[in-house]
Amino acid sequence: MPGRKTTSTFTRNEQCIINCNLTYAVHILSGRWKLLILDKLKQRQMRFSELKKEFSYISERMLTLQLQAMEEDGLLKRTVYPEVPPRVEYELTEMAIELTPILDHLSQWAEKNRKK
């Protein structure tokens, strides 16, 4: 009897999350590999192939998707060098650098409290 919904509750509800600063923050960090990438780039900027080698268990597609999302959200700066073969460097933005001490606290919290 009921027809197909023309609007997705999933998408509508996403707005609730994006409107709140806290849920927004966790939202843009929630991709499966984003924090590991962030942590790696804390040390130095790296090119795509270096990250790929570092995280050999992450599929190339996923690496691309996560990097794109992070760039879109202002966490990473992407620099393309017009060479052949291409070279692309990724580095943290100021915004991401400001985030790192908070993530350190989170990490400490988890270490102290998580169930073994």
Partner DNA sequence: TGTGCTACTATAAAATTTGTAAGTAATGCC
Partner DNA sequence: GGCATTACTTACAAATTTTATAGTAGCACA
Give the interface with DNA as residue ranges (CB under 7 A): 1-2, 4-5, 8-11, 13, 30-33, 47-49, 52, 58-62, 64-65, 67-68, 78, 80, 84-88
Using an 8 Å Cβ cutoff, are 40 and 46 in contact? yes
Distance, CA of 75 to CA of 97 (rounded, Å): 9
Q: Which helix (H) or strand (E) holds 91?
A: strand 87-92
SS3 content of the chain, % helix, strand, coil (to 5): 60, 10, 30
| Residue 99 interacting entry, from DNA, a copy of itself, none, C-beta within 5 to 8 Å by type | a copy of itself
Residue nearer to a copy of itself on the CB measure, 74 or 86: 74
Residue ranges that bind a copy of itself, judged by CB under 8 A: 12-13, 16-17, 20-26, 29-30, 32, 35-36, 39, 57-58, 73-74, 95, 98-99, 102-103, 105-115
